[in-house]
Amino acid sequence: MKLTEIVKSCNLQLVCGEKSLNRDVSGGYVSDLLSDVMANCKKDDIWLTLQIHPNIVAVAKLKEIAGIIIINGRKPEAETTKKANAEGLPVMTSDLPAFELAGRLYNMGIHGTH
């Protein structure tokens, strides 16, 4: 599934990374412990987190994550947006809590194990 479809269906606000929205998403991961994301998130996953620190960009690039969705109406730190922009990494925000958003993504066919 393309990121564009996810943005549209889940009513996400796009912060940056517009040019990479045609990227394919093959799975999903939810975690706020970045060490855990580094250990367990897979390539092309969509990652749901409440962390807004600039390190989320580096972790997403390292793991070749398709995009980050910041949940609960939180906004990324300015430095995070700047870095994600420079990397062309899609960062989106949602007003929904992680559980609700993960459920919607699951119903759309995005699973945690793939």
Partner 1 sequence: MLKCFRADLHIHTCLSPCADLTMSPKRIINTGLVKKLDIIAVCDHNSAENVHAALNASRNTRLTVIAGMEITSAEEVHVIALFATYDAVHALQELVYENLTAGENDEALFGAQIIVNASDEIEGYNKRLLIGATSLPIKRIVDEIHRLGGLAIASHIDREAYSIIGQLGFIPDDLELDALEISSSTTIAAAIERFPQIKKYTLISSSDAHYLDDIGKATTQFTIEKPTLEELRKAFRDVGGRRVVAQA
Residues of this chain that interact with partner 1 (CB under 8 A) are 32-35, 37-38, 51-55, 58-59, 77
| 31 or 94: CB nearest partner 1 | 31
Phi-psi region of 75 (alpha: psi -120 to 50; beta: other; left: phi over 0): beta
Give the nearer residue to partner 1 in terms of CB position, either 5 or 32. 32
Min separation Cβ 26 and partner 1, Å = 22
Residue 34 C-beta: closest distance to partner 1, Å = 3
Structure tokens at 53: 């620190």
d(CA 72, CA 68): 13
Nearer to partner 1, 15 or 83 (CB): 83
Minimum separation from the CB atom of position 35 to partner 1 (A): 5
Where are the alpha helices (H) located in the chain, listed in sequence order? Answer: 3-9, 34-40, 55-62, 78-87, 98-107
Strand partners, 68: 47, 91
